[in-house]
Chain A
Amino acid sequence: MVSIQIRHLTKHFGSTLALDDVNLTIESGEMFFLLGPSGCGKTTLLRHIAGFYTPDQGQLLFDQRDITNLPPHKRNTAMMFQSYALWPHLTVGENVAFGLEERKLPRAQIDSRVQESLQMVRLGHLADRKINQLSGGQQQRVALARSLAVRPDALLLDEPLSNLDAKLRLEMRSEIRRICKEFGVTAVYVTHDQKEALHLADRLAVMEKGAISQIGTPRDIFRSPRSASVAAFIGEANFLPAHFLASTGPGPLATARTAHGLFTGRLTDPTWHPSPGEPVQLCLRPEALRLSDQPDLPNRIGGRLIDSIYLGELAQYAVQDPAGTTFHVSELNPALLRPADQSVVSLTAAPDDVMILRA
């Protein structure tokens, strides 16, 4: 396994800028996620690592070794394709053996490695099957076994779960993490599913318009998004315009003035020091807001309850303030559901849950 360094990677497709000066270091053995909406450049970046694209500018390094111009078949990466790309004219065993044959391993070793890889994904008994005799979930595992059999320096996964049904997807999620960690392989995983990323990633990068918006651990990114777009992409978010007042402490705590009065919140970017009076945005997660009838609370938003939805494990409410902005609130494990009766209610959040972001 290797560490991967990406330096100033830039790529144009015609006149579209697909990658815009991307810089990134992925540690050896790390499970790293590239997350972003479709068209953000995450798959393009992954295909650069695999070598299917050559960058216009910039460098790719595996363990300090420059591989920018190395053709794909000499990189020793293994990619799991969204469509799995299993060869229909070969059996399960032949598919898994393919990469080993290309590495000219002795036959006996190939056979034992194929068996070992198939057992790892719990398909040891299906080596002689044809690909089209397998279910979607089984195909997905064969693709994983084929990738891991060659002991790649890096495993590249391109939305590997997007073709599975919801239940199987949950099952395979944990399975992939278990297997990757068992092999200790450096894995780069592309997805647009934030749940998948939060669940599996050691660290992740959120991408937008060909550039990286933020890199961090799942908790970092979820709790301390540096921009409104990252906050909106990971999890749900309510935004409230404000003017910065002052850093009050302790730590990153600060105050800002809104149409709903004074709010105490947390600056998510430690390198950012807004000046008093500067316009900012407050970001409030629905699950961080609490619905209450008390009129006199800190960090309070007043409004009317206009919608309520019961979802079993949680209840979702919509509250509209006098200016017409709608705030979404969710309550976990609701004992009862309040009717959407236009009654006047209050929303409140702990200072640590109010994120102060650039406007």
Chain B
Amino acid sequence: MKRLPTYGFLLFILLAMGCFFVYPIYHTVREAFTKPGGGFTLEYIGQIFGNPLYREGLGNALKMAAGSTLGALLLALPLALLSARFAFPGKALLGALVLVPLILPPFVGTIGVKQILGQHGALNALLMPSQVASGYPADWLGHGRLLGVILMNALHLYPILYLNITASLANLDPALDEAAENLGCPPWRRFWRITLPLAMPGLFAGASIVFIWGFTELGVPLMFDFPRVTPVQIFDGIKEIGGNPLPYALVAIMLVASLLLFLLSKCLFGRSDFAGTGRASMAAQTPTLKGARGWLATAAFSSIILLAVLPHCGVTLTSLATDWNDTVLPSGFTLQHYRDALSHGLTVPSIINSLKYAGLATALDVVLGVTIAWIVVRTRLPGRHLLDALAMLPIAVPGLVLAFGYLAMTREGQPFHWLIGANEDPYWIIVIAYAIRRLPYVVRSASAGLQQTSVSLEEAAQNLGCSPFRTLCRITLPLIAANLIAGALLAFSFGMLEVSDSLILAQKGEHFPITKAIYNLNGALGNGEALASALGVWAMVFLSITLLGTGLLLGKKMGALFRA
């Protein structure tokens, strides 16, 4: 009787996920394995592996992923251990600043990095003025620029690992460590035998997300003019999407590789996350590092953060510079670029577009996310586990794959062509793309809230005469409001920063979201980079405010958002 509407929701959500998550993937994969006349074929996959260019692209993508993960791990692990184990001067502030890299789309940061590390950049001007003068300065970004791409990714992605590791360290019962100490295990051995193995699930969960992210990164290699990597090859292939099945095959290969990795991490560390064995029963002791050692810890933290904000500084300076070539700092400052950027025909509409796309997608995510979390946490409906898995899976599926699938399934003659408005307006498909990709964050935060809220609080309301729907409004939603706002903020800011859907789905200038506008401005002749940077700074300010809010609302629980 009361289950009927719940079944309705369940069916509706499964249908929506089927249409806009499973179907686009299926559509892409099918094209990759279908002969022109119909029938199964492995020919295209074979062609990919037979073509040295594509092989090199895949190899580079793997290098990009492995390098980014390793780099992020090297940055994140020491910081996470320091912050979980010790108190030191300025810890609270530094802990918040660690998240700074998340506020800038990495491909915008690329502009800044090129200004600083490029052949005519600030570093060369600082270190080797003589070589600059002679015209043959060092190329820090390395041959083929892969190193630059990896550096940029690592600097952008290490906060995700940091959050995951600190969250899993914070959840450890200090008694586990004390028991080892009590049995005579010295500190360093305790770290290797107890702490690290117990933190492994969090570490691996974060690392697999960073790896997939790095594997499918489109914006950064694109901005570094590094074409021989699979994501860029797919992006270039879109122009010929009608007749050429090879982009489909490339996407299918990326998807399989990502899913294999995701499954591997699930199998290795299970879904249980050791949490059951080791919930903290008491607060962990964090001894304060005194004197020089304390300041050393502060310095370590600060220097990594400084390194991580280099791109941001570069972007900010570029946006303010009259001219910046072969000098440590720009030779003059101006606000002209901000005026130019605002008066450019692309800018204002793109900001409005992004606000509309991200705002609507967030609203959709909140409604869907609360319903999914409620069904998964509060009901015993058969099929709720499938729902949970489906809702979390977009974290493991590369944005590029989905974007490609959306593009393919809304082409003329395809079943979802009706979603494209007049004048090729991709409004609804972009909103759906944004919403599906960010859904995991909202579901995660909502179900975390529901799990912390005792069912008896809801039962007490029903018992006092409150109908189930009113109970949701008066009791449940207010109690999980902080979680919901945090999840929504995250969904919104990541929507504003979206790269792959935006670059691929928006084809006409008047439909560009802000990221594609930045990309296009950057390519403009003359002061393009400065204009793009000016717009990037605007996005940065905006996102730092939303992320700061998220951090305040969620505290340590924020790490849980970046897990699947």
Contacts and interface: CB of A to CB of B under 8 A. Distances in A.
Q: Decide whether A and B assemble into one complex.
A: yes
B463 A71 contact: no
29 contacts: A50-B459, A50-B463, A52-B462, A71-B2, A71-B462, A72-B459, A73-B465, A73-B467, A73-B468, A73-B471, A75-B463, A76-B465, A79-B459, A81-B459, A81-B460, A83-B454, A85-B456, A86-B457, A86-B460, A87-B460, A88-B479, A89-B478, A89-B479, A102-B461, A102-B466, A103-B465, A146-B460, A146-B464, A147-B464
B4 interface: no
A35 to B, nearest CB: 21
Interface string B479-502: 100000000000000000000000
A87 B475 contact: yes
Contacts of A73: 461-468, 471
A3 to B, nearest CB: 19
A78 B475 contact: no
Given A71-B2, A85-B457, A87-B479, A79 B463 contact: yes
B179 interface: no
Given A71-B468, A83-B454, A86-B460, 11 more contacts: A50-B463, A51-B463, A72-B459, A73-B462, A75-B463, A79-B459, A87-B460, A87-B461, A99-B465, A102-B465, A147-B464
Contacts of A102: 461, 464-466, 470
Name the 8 nearest CB pairs between A and B, nearest first.
A99-B464, A85-B456, A85-B460, A102-B465, A72-B462, A81-B456, A79-B463, A73-B462
Interface in A276-296: none
Contacts of A86: 457, 460
Interface residues of B, number: 21
B461 A98 contact: yes
A87 B478 CA distance: 10
A147 B460 CA distance: 9
A75 B466 CA distance: 11
A81 to B, nearest CB: 4
B457 A87 contact: yes
Contacts of A71: 2, 462, 467-468
Nearest to B465: A102
Contacts of A150: 464-465
Contacts of B454: 83, 85
A73 B468 CA distance: 8
A74 interface: yes
A88 B463 CA distance: 17
B463 A78 contact: yes
Nearest to B463: A79
A248 interface: no
Interface residues of B, dominant DSSP? helix
A170 to B, nearest CB: 25
A98 B464 contact: yes
Interface of B: 1-2, 454, 456-457, 459-468, 470-471, 474-475, 478-479
A325 interface: no
B215 to A, nearest CB: 43
A57 interface: no
Contacts of A76: 465
A71 to B, nearest CB: 6
A98 B454 CA distance: 18
Contacts of A83: 454, 456
A255 to B, nearest CB: 53
Contacts of B1: 69
A10 interface: no
Nearest to A156: B463
A83 B467 CA distance: 22
A76 B468 CA distance: 15
A77 B463 contact: yes
Nearest to A104: B465
B6 to A, nearest CB: 14
A103 B462 CA distance: 12
Contacts of A50: 459, 463
Interface in A63-122: 69, 71-79, 81-83, 85-89, 98-99, 102-103
Contacts of B479: 87-89
A76 B466 CA distance: 10
Nearest to A95: B460
Contacts of B464: 73, 78, 98-99, 102, 146-147, 150
Which residue, A52, A82, A102, A147, has most C-beta atoms of chain B within 10 A? A102
A155 to B, nearest CB: 11
A256 B461 CA distance: 57
A273 to B, nearest CB: 46
A56 B62 CA distance: 57
Contacts of B456: 81-83, 85
A100 to B, nearest CB: 9
A82 B461 CA distance: 15
B183 to A, nearest CB: 34
Contacts of A99: 464-466
B463 A74 contact: no
Contacts of B468: 71, 73
A187 B518 CA distance: 69
B482 to A, nearest CB: 10
A51 B459 CA distance: 10
Interface string A52-65: 10000000000000
A85 B2 contact: no
Which residue, A83, A87, A150, A156, has most C-beta atoms of chain B within 10 A? A87
A82 B454 CA distance: 12
A98 B465 CA distance: 9
Contacts of A98: 461, 464, 466, 474
A60 to B, nearest CB: 15
A89 B476 CA distance: 10
Nearest to B471: A73
A79 B467 contact: no
A85 B461 CA distance: 9
A209 to B, nearest CB: 24
Interface in A158-186: none
B514 to A, nearest CB: 36
A69 B475 CA distance: 24
B317 to A, nearest CB: 46
Contacts of B2: 71
